[in-house]
Structure 1
Amino acid sequence: MEQIPTGQDIGRRDLFENPTAAFRPSAYWFWHSIPAEDVCHAQLADFKQKGIGTILIQARLAMSRDDYLSPAYLDAYRVAAGIAGKLGLKLGIYDDYNWISGHAGGRTVVDRDDLRERHLFWSSSGGARGEISGIHPPFTRTMGPDIVAWQYEGSIVEWCEWTVEAALLHPSVGIDSLDQVVDVTARTSIIESDGISCTHAFDGVPAEGQVLTVFVSARSRTSRLINYLLPEAAERFIEVGLDPLIEALGALVPDPVGFVFYDQPAAGFYKWSQISGDLGNSLLYAPTLPDAVSRGTGETFARALMALVRGVGPETLRLRAQFYAAYSALMNEAFSGTLRRWAEGRGIVLTGHEILPHVSSWSLNGGFTSIDPRVALAVDFFGIDAYRHETAVDSNNFVAQLAPKLGDSVARSNGRSRCVVETYASAERTPVRAAGQWELTLETMRAQAIRLHCLGSRQFLWHGVYQTDGRDDDPTPFSNPRFDFGPGINFEPWWSYHDLFAEETARISAFIEGATPRTPVAILYPLHTAFAEGPRHSHATHIGAWCKGLLAEGCDFMFVSEADLATATIENGRLRASGLVFDAVVLPSVTVLETTKTLHTLAVFKAAGGAVWSSGERLSTVCDGAAGRAVGPSIHLEGMPGKDDITALLQSLRSSGPDLACHSAGRPWQWVGYEDAGWWRVVLFNDGASHLISEISFGDGFACEVWSATTGDVGKATAFSHLTVALAPQEVQCIRLSKTTQKTTVRGHLEHQPLLAAPRAISLVDGWSFAPDPDAGFVPISVVAGWETQGFAGFSGTGIYRLALEIGDEAEWVLELPEVHTVVAALLDGRQIDRRGWRPYRFALGRLLPGVHSLELRVANTAANRYYINTPYLGDTADKSGLSAAPKLIQLAN
């Protein structure tokens, strides 16, 4: 990935005016077939023109697996990379076919059955015999037959090499201690098996009141997914999946091809008929796992396994936490460690993202609720990130969510900052998630990008731009590219406006880069609680409540790990960790900690005047043996934190930097950070539909610069005592300020909208004509209802509205369009005035002479009405298109 400027370079205004690729939107480029050279030229030039800075080529399900990594594929890849380099685009290697890194389109396991995923299953019975049967991957099957066919040879889920790994006799209810658990592994064996089930038997008879629990491993015979506990699987993946790309690219590595991006490495999430207990899925097994677990827990592998599914007395939470810690560490090193060493040997950067169970949610496990993330690379985010050179996360749909904040946190913990945020759309109008959101508007995506930047994103990664828009009248998900997690934004009618979005959001990101965020609150990431208690425990929802509550009150925060606290320093009652300064630490329903070092740091911080708050369940277990109640918080909330609780916490914090007060019903999104030289940076964004007003004050006075993200201009510094910032819907302001040495009484007002003379507003209701094409015949149309209601229900594209505009008085005029679906260019007398991709849709027409002028509005809608027609995804009504409220002509005040 592009090197991020540091030191004085960050503060340079030219970086803001002309952001580099590190800050510009990036995109997956979906290849549905091997493209010809002319296609590569045309599409890459188009991407460059629309403001994209980085491209990652991704082979999708519509492409034959036989074509993936074939000589023709590698030739096309090299050609595309060469073209990208000449255009000034950066390129990254998306490391696999479709997604789920490690399988290399199935090549990793060809002639290497030993590398296919092997899992542990278990069953409990009161007799000597038991079985494992009905194994199925529910998460995969819900995505449809094409996904099953991709992941499993012949679309069949079969198993082999059934092996008893542990067998234990124990009371049927109420295990009080491990002393009641008897290891009978040596007396238990597999007596029958086939591709879908096995029967195991114990050579004795359980006593009355006893139960036999048997853990059996089996290797998949048909899965193309790998065993992530085996470093040799990662090595083979590199040999057959990554090295061929690197060798084909030759001198194009490391520039423009500078990084490799992995995506959700994870084995199957299997359930079966006999599953029971605390763990919700099977877990991977490798011969190295028992020793790793024994070292990590100080217990035998068999008895540690027992603790995963049943309570075994006072040691239960400790054993679970330490088991999953050992399991995750083994997986991190085997897969991520192998990839990192390879990337460094090739001189490129390793990045990518794991499964994020919180995707689209604030709750730590509010996204993928059907899986138990402890079996995958999906809980120890700080540990996973330590193997990356750059942090990346996943986000779903266009709402604020946890991913970028947690991504920024783990990056700072590992000596970096901020992250790449991959954003994909899953359908909301239909159960078929892959049908995507072709109804997506540029305003929606812009608002999301700005929110993500305020939450910790450096770069917005699109999922994605498409090679083809697929086939009509075919609703099949995935195999029809049209419904492979649409939209392919370059096939949206508003695509030609994407450069407006790209330039503005890149400047906002570059503006934020120049400062360290003000984060008075640290939230402890409760790793060992998550390991021990599982994804349905209250720590997950308490994290969501704290995040939403703090942001609602305009308070930023960051997550810290126990390791961060262990190395933190405390100065003047403030805690310094991960390069940030905190006044308070929050423990969200933390029941298990790893080490007494955490307790010691919290005790010292509290004694120095710092605030330690907790909510929900109380601490009960510290894995290295300390008493759980050794340190009490400053405040403990039995329930979820509410608005009054958040307010009380914030009132106890010290004030630093500028004060931002909100004088309207809603609160804008804000980001506040400080430079080394004493200047502060503020981003304010109104993502709502009503005007918002904020007031900035800073000591006895401050110098203020306004940096325009739209134009790249930087205003002259002006001194104020207070600055009122009025934000129209969808308006953003970037402000840089510093305390002045002299007191001032000047009050400033920042507002982009001109003063309008309301009595001189003229509603332009009548006289409009319309055509879906400039060469088509124009017909009369109403501008108070969209074109989809007036005979153009299936039209997606740029519709043209025309009006003979009669001006009576010579004056300065402004055109205001109250409702546009979804982007518009205004032309007056054949000359384009400007383009707008989001609210406010306002155009300064200039000084107009009396007479008749030709007004033309070119409005582009979304692709939904075109692409969803004749499919189950259309819905009951067509999406709004064009104008749906009368334009207004407004005379400026003298």
Structure 2
Amino acid sequence: MDQIRTGQDIDPRNLFENPTAAFRPSAYWFWHSIPTQEVCHTQLSDFKLKGIGTILIQARLVMSRDDYLSPAYLEAYRVAAGIAGKLGLKLGIYDDYNWISGHAGGRTVAGRDDLRERHLFWSSSGHGRGQISGIHPPFTQTMGADIVEWQYEGSVVEWCEWTVEAALLHSSAGIDGLDQIVDVTARTSIVDSDGVSCTYAFDGAAGDGQMLTVFVSARSTTSRLINYLLPEAAERFIGVGLDPLVEALGDLVPDPVGFVFYDQPAAGFYKWDQISGCLGNSLLFAPSLPDAVSGGTGGPFAKTLLALLRDVGPETLRLRARFYAVYSALMNEAFSGTLRRWAQGRGIVLTGHEILPHISSWSLNGGFASIDPRVALAVDFFGIDALRHETAVDSNNFVAQLAPKLGDSVARSNGRSRCVVETYASAERTPVRAAGQWELTLETMRAQAIRLYCLGSRQFLWHGVYQTDGHDDDPTPFANPRFDFGPGINFEPWWSYHDLFAQETARISAFIEPATPRTPVAILYPLHTAFAEGPRHNHATHIGAWCGGLLAEGCDFMFVSEVDLATARIENSRLLASGLSFDAVVLPSVTVFEMAKTLRALDAFKAAGGVVWSSGDRLSTVCDGGEPLNPIASTHIDHMPGRRDITALLSSLPLSGPAVVCHSPDRPWQWVGNEADGWWRIVLFNDGATPLVSEISFGDGFDSEIWSATTGKVEEAGAFSRLTVRLDPQEVRCMRLRETAQGIAREGRLTAQPPLDAARAVPLVVGWSFAPGADAAFVPISVESGWETQGFADFSGTGIYRLTLEIGDEAEWFLELPEVATVVVACLDGRQIDRRGWRPYRFALGRLIPGVHSLELRVANTAANRYYNNTPYLGENLDKSGLTAAPTLIPLKT
């Protein structure tokens, strides 16, 4: 990923015309078996031709774990890297088998049982005897037997070394303070155990109204996952999982192999029959944890553990926040810190992503609802990112979501900018998520990529391109590569159009690169509130409401940490932090601060004329300062922020730079940023189905340039007092503006819609013939419904439509295709006119003389009808395929 820094030294216009690999789409290359040299050359050449810039090889579940990291695997890996380098592709090391970094396909714990995950479980009862039993990983179990077998030897979850770590007597009703809790750890012991349960006993008796809560640790005997609290586990992972790859690659590191990418390092998320309290999953445990917690909280370890489950008086929130801060810091340092030092020693970049509980959502914890993110590397995103060289995040499906915005925020907080966004598809038509979305269209993925760039992404990482498309008549997820989080985009019928997507979106990313985003609003990432209150607290949904509400009003924002606020500078009533300038700070249902210094910084910002808003719950605890002396000086709303609140906030803020106004209820996506030399950059994108019109103004007048992401060309558009921009459905515009020194009276209009004479339009309804592929016979067909309804239900590929038409008037003619599923090449009289991968499907046919002409349309659909045929994933309705509305010929107005 060093090409990012190299890219910043290139002239912005050259970078826009020919984006480097840093901006081009990247992709996981799924290896389902060890490939031959021929396969490597064929597929890598194809990836290069389709516009992909970076490849990460990932061994998937269908590959034998015995093959993973074998001599043959390492040799194939080096061969592939060498071919990639000769082709001009960059390569990154995806660091593990399947996913969940750290296990090295089970090699990390092989012969090192002490490195297997060890967890802390608990049980409360009114008796002196209790049990821990029924331990299970619900998240893993829902993914099927093959995933269970991969993670657990023999497909069983078993435990050993049951140890009482804490036992406490306390009231079964309320607890008013830590002095009401009695530590009886020394008097409690394990009296019976086996591989699935243990029984403990207290040598005394709980009195009336008392309860005994016991915390027991156990190490798994079968899990291949590691204990992320142990730095020696990360060291072992490096030794058996990463060093063999780097050594096999030799002089191919660091070019073309420049980085290592980790993916969701996480132990199991266990539940059990006796689980209770405010923590939703088991905690990792290591011998270093008790002393670290005692030092970090200033309280005894055992009583702090009880505070994680229930209210223990006024100290509860502070103890929870500090416990999880210590716990997260231990994991960060043990795993990420160890990898960071190794990467630096090897001269390569460390990147990757942790678990993101907000995946596919704006709400902070709206994604993985079945886990408590505090047990994993899944809350302290700013701290995790500090140990990476480049930021990466995970996104699911094709909707706008929090991940890229939070990724860009943590990157800027740590002295960088923007992020890589891994994008994977999970099934929406079936509960089997791994079945994926073979119905994905190029238009859908393009729209998502542009949205991601507007939200903070630099590079789109595909999950993924496949070595094989699997086999028919087998719906088994994972074991059949076809249903391993499809689609494998290189097996989609529209794959040959991917270069259109790759080139255009790379240019949009490169266009954004030189400018700093205009972010009037800073949203505090409430880390210690998240630690103390847990994932179901209001801060999670309030964050979602603020994010969605601000974007709906065309206002960009960035997250900041408490450290960012506490160390920010204040100039001219603006807060300067993370390399950005903010007019307002929003506190989303914040109840716990880490530092009193943050309060003082907010007060200073407010006193200097800055705007501070808060919503939901109010601050109650400052971890290093007891109770706050005074309430936060803010405009406070008790309810979930709505449009009226967002509008009120924005109306109080000054406008810096150009104004972009859209008067329709739907707005285009927009990104606005400024360069150091006074120029501004704007991206506008209409991801809807109807045209949108925006008006741009800037002072008394402005110069403007149009940067075409389709062609890479830059054109001066002129000087205007106001510019009206019409965006067709799925149209994107990149513009560069600079305020002029003198007033301009001229108004302008930008539109891609040519002046067509709709009154002379000629519908092309009848006379069409169709062939399902180049070698098939042609048959009559209707163009008003897809071919899937006309005898070709399971045909996925390129269908050919032909029509003989007669032109009566000589004119400049255009061909409009109202509905295409999904991509199309238009040919006239045997000559290719152009190809389109998304709306508008409009073709300039040129000046046609009267007479007979032959029109041919080659339309490719998705792979869904073919691959889901004969499986439970097909659904009730087939995917539309081909032309589903009649084409129209329209002449240019004269």
Q: What's the counterpart of residue 592 of structure 1? A: 592
Q: Does 1:247 align with 2:256?
A: no
How far has the Cα of 1:556 moved from its partner? 0.2
SS in 2 for 1:214: strand
In the aligned structure 2, how far is the partner of 1:351 from the partner of 1:292? Answer: 27
Q: What's the counterpart of residue 95 of structure 2? A: 95
Q: What's the counterpart of residue 792 of structure 2? A: 792
Equivalent pair of 2:103/2:225 in contact (CA under 8 Å): yes
How far has the Cα of 1:629 moved from its partner? 5.7
TM-score (norm 1): 0.99
> What is the CA deviation profile of residues 273-298 of structure 1, one whole-angstrom value per residue up to 9, with x for unaligned ones?
00000000000000000111011100
Map 1:362-441 onto structure 2 (within 5 A): 362-441=362-441
Shift of the 196–5 alpha-carbon distance from structure 1 to 2, 3 Å rule, reads: closer
Equivalent pair of 2:426/2:485 in contact (CA under 8 Å): yes
In the aligned structure 2, how far is the partner of 1:773 from the partner of 1:251? Answer: 45
How far has the Cα of 1:737 moved from its partner? 0.3
How far has the Cα of 1:682 moved from its partner? 0.2
AA matched with 1:683: V
How far has the Cα of 1:11 moved from its partner? 5.1
Q: What's the counterpart of residue 845 of structure 1? A: 845
How far has the Cα of 1:3 moved from its partner? 2.7
SS in 1 for 2:758: strand
Q: What's the counterpart of residue 279 of structure 1? A: 279
Shift of the 150–7 alpha-carbon distance from structure 1 to 2, 3 Å rule, reads: closer
Map 1:611-622 onto structure 2 (within 5 A): 611-622=611-622
How far has the Cα of 1:10 moved from its partner? 5.6
How far has the Cα of 1:2 moved from its partner? 3.3
SS in 1 for 2:724: strand
How far has the Cα of 1:726 moved from its partner? 0.2
Q: What's the counterpart of residue 747 of structure 1? A: 747
In the aligned structure 2, how far is the partner of 1:642 from the partner of 1:437? Answer: 33
Map 1:820-859 onto structure 2 (within 5 A): 820-859=820-859
How far has the Cα of 1:206 moved from its partner? 1.0
How far has the Cα of 1:8 moved from its partner? 7.1
Q: What's the counterpart of residue 661 of structure 1? A: 661
In the aligned structure 2, how far is the partner of 1:775 from the partner of 1:155? Answer: 48
Q: What's the counterpart of residue 235 of structure 1? A: 235
SS in 2 for 1:715: strand
In the aligned structure 1, how far is the partner of 2:291 from the partner of 2:204? Answer: 28
Equivalent pair of 2:27/2:463 in contact (CA under 8 Å): yes
Equivalent pair of 2:521/2:583 in contact (CA under 8 Å): yes
Q: Does 1:72 align with 2:72?
A: yes
> What is the CA deviation profile of residues 424-457 of structure 1, one whole-angstrom value per residue up to 9, with x for unaligned ones?
0000000000000000000000000000000000
Q: What's the counterpart of residue 491 of structure 1? A: 491
Map 1:767-786 onto structure 2 (within 5 A): 767-786=767-786
Q: What's the counterpart of residue 726 of structure 2? A: 726
Q: What's the counterpart of residue 133 of structure 1? A: 133
> What is the CA deviation profile of residues 337-373 of structure 1, one whole-angstrom value per residue up to 9, with x for unaligned ones?
0000000000000000000000000000000000000
Q: Does 1:204 align with 2:211?
A: no
How far has the Cα of 1:631 moved from its partner? 3.8
SS in 1 for 2:107: helix
In the aligned structure 2, how far is the partner of 1:610 from the partner of 1:877? Answer: 54
> What is the CA deviation profile of residues 247-277 of structure 1, one whole-angstrom value per residue up to 9, with x for unaligned ones?
1000000000000000000000000000000
Give aligned pairs, total. 894
In the aligned structure 2, how far is the partner of 1:503 from the partner of 1:824? Answer: 18
Q: What's the counterpart of residue 189 of structure 1? A: 189
In the aligned structure 2, how far is the partner of 1:814 from the partner of 1:513? Answer: 36
Q: Does 1:581 align with 2:581?
A: yes
How far has the Cα of 1:775 moved from its partner? 2.2
In the aligned structure 2, how far is the partner of 1:803 from the partner of 1:122? Answer: 73
Q: What's the counterpart of residue 562 of structure 1? A: 562
In the aligned structure 2, how far is the partner of 1:98 from the partner of 1:4? Answer: 27
How far has the Cα of 1:5 moved from its partner? 4.1
Q: What's the counterpart of residue 167 of structure 1? A: 167
> What is the CA deviation profile of residues 221-249 of structure 1, one whole-angstrom value per residue up to 9, with x for unaligned ones?
00000000000000000000000000100
SS in 1 for 2:721: strand
How far has the Cα of 1:876 moved from its partner? 1.0
Map 1:449-468 onto structure 2 (within 5 A): 449-468=449-468
> What is the CA deviation profile of residues 122-159 of structure 1, one whole-angstrom value per residue up to 9, with x for unaligned ones?
00111110110000000000000000000000000000
AA matched with 1:541: T
SS in 1 for 2:690: coil
AA matched with 2:431: P
How far has the Cα of 1:12 moved from its partner? 2.3
In the aligned structure 2, how far is the partner of 1:877 from the partner of 1:12? Answer: 47
AA matched with 1:277: G
Gaps of 5+ in 2: none
Gaps of 5+ in 1: none
How far has the Cα of 1:776 moved from its partner? 1.5
In the aligned structure 2, how far is the partner of 1:298 from the partner of 1:4? Answer: 44
Equivalent pair of 1:614/1:633 in contact (CA under 8 Å): no
SS in 2 for 1:334: helix
Equivalent pair of 2:819/2:884 in contact (CA under 8 Å): yes
> What is the CA deviation profile of residues 167-196 of structure 1, one whole-angstrom value per residue up to 9, with x for unaligned ones?
000001101100001111000000000000
SS in 2 for 1:493: coil
In the aligned structure 1, how far is the partner of 2:649 from the partner of 2:589? Answer: 17
How far has the Cα of 1:773 moved from its partner? 1.7
AA matched with 1:257: V
Q: What's the counterpart of residue 46 of structure 1? A: 46
In the aligned structure 2, how far is the partner of 1:342 from the partner of 1:578? Answer: 27
Equivalent pair of 1:590/1:617 in contact (CA under 8 Å): yes
AA matched with 1:22: A
> What is the CA deviation profile of residues 808-866 of structure 1, one whole-angstrom value per residue up to 9, with x for unaligned ones?
11110000000000000000111110000000000000001111111000000000000
Q: What's the counterpart of residue 546 of structure 1? A: 546
Equivalent pair of 2:520/2:557 in contact (CA under 8 Å): yes
Equivalent pair of 1:353/1:392 in contact (CA under 8 Å): yes
In the aligned structure 2, how far is the partner of 1:294 from the partner of 1:287? Answer: 13
In the aligned structure 1, how far is the partner of 2:721 from the partner of 2:261? Answer: 48
In the aligned structure 2, how far is the partner of 1:168 from the partner of 1:8? Answer: 58
In the aligned structure 2, how far is the partner of 1:774 from the partner of 1:471? Answer: 24
In the aligned structure 2, how far is the partner of 1:706 from the partner of 1:283? Answer: 54
Please report the RMSD computed on the Cα atoms of aligned residues, expressed in angstroms.
0.8
In the aligned structure 1, how far is the partner of 2:393 from the partner of 2:149? Answer: 27
In the aligned structure 1, how far is the partner of 2:514 from the partner of 2:6? Answer: 9
In the aligned structure 2, how far is the partner of 1:163 from the partner of 1:252? Answer: 48
In the aligned structure 1, how far is the partner of 2:193 from the partner of 2:884? Answer: 66
How far has the Cα of 1:777 moved from its partner? 1.0
> What is the CA deviation profile of residues 867-890 of structure 1, one whole-angstrom value per residue up to 9, with x for unaligned ones?
000000001121100000000000
Q: What's the counterpart of residue 764 of structure 2? A: 764
Equivalent pair of 1:27/1:56 in contact (CA under 8 Å): yes
SS in 1 for 2:161: strand
Equivalent pair of 2:57/2:94 in contact (CA under 8 Å): yes
How far has the Cα of 1:571 moved from its partner? 0.5
AA matched with 2:563: A
Map 1:879-894 onto structure 2 (within 5 A): 879-894=879-894
> What is the CA deviation profile of residues 468-507 of structure 1, one whole-angstrom value per residue up to 9, with x for unaligned ones?
0001000000010000000000000000000000000000
How far has the Cα of 1:630 moved from its partner? 2.2
Q: Runs of at least 4 residues of structure 1 off by over 3 A? A: 5-11
Q: Does 1:314 align with 2:321?
A: no
AA matched with 2:355: I
In the aligned structure 1, how far is the partner of 2:144 from the partner of 2:627? Answer: 50
In the aligned structure 2, how far is the partner of 1:104 from the partner of 1:557? Answer: 39
How far has the Cα of 1:407 moved from its partner? 0.1
In the aligned structure 1, how far is the partner of 2:566 from the partner of 2:634? Answer: 20
In the aligned structure 2, how far is the partner of 1:727 from the partner of 1:638? Answer: 39
Equivalent pair of 2:3/2:21 in contact (CA under 8 Å): no
SS in 1 for 2:3: coil
AA matched with 2:26: S
In the aligned structure 1, how far is the partner of 2:769 from the partner of 2:47? Answer: 33
How far has the Cα of 1:627 moved from its partner? 2.6
Q: Does 1:477 align with 2:474?
A: no
AA matched with 1:636: H
Q: Does 1:257 align with 2:257?
A: yes
AA matched with 1:29: W
Equivalent pair of 1:821/1:882 in contact (CA under 8 Å): yes
Equivalent pair of 2:599/2:632 in contact (CA under 8 Å): no
Shift of the 596–7 alpha-carbon distance from structure 1 to 2, 3 Å rule, reads: farther
AA matched with 1:563: V
TM-score (norm 2): 0.99
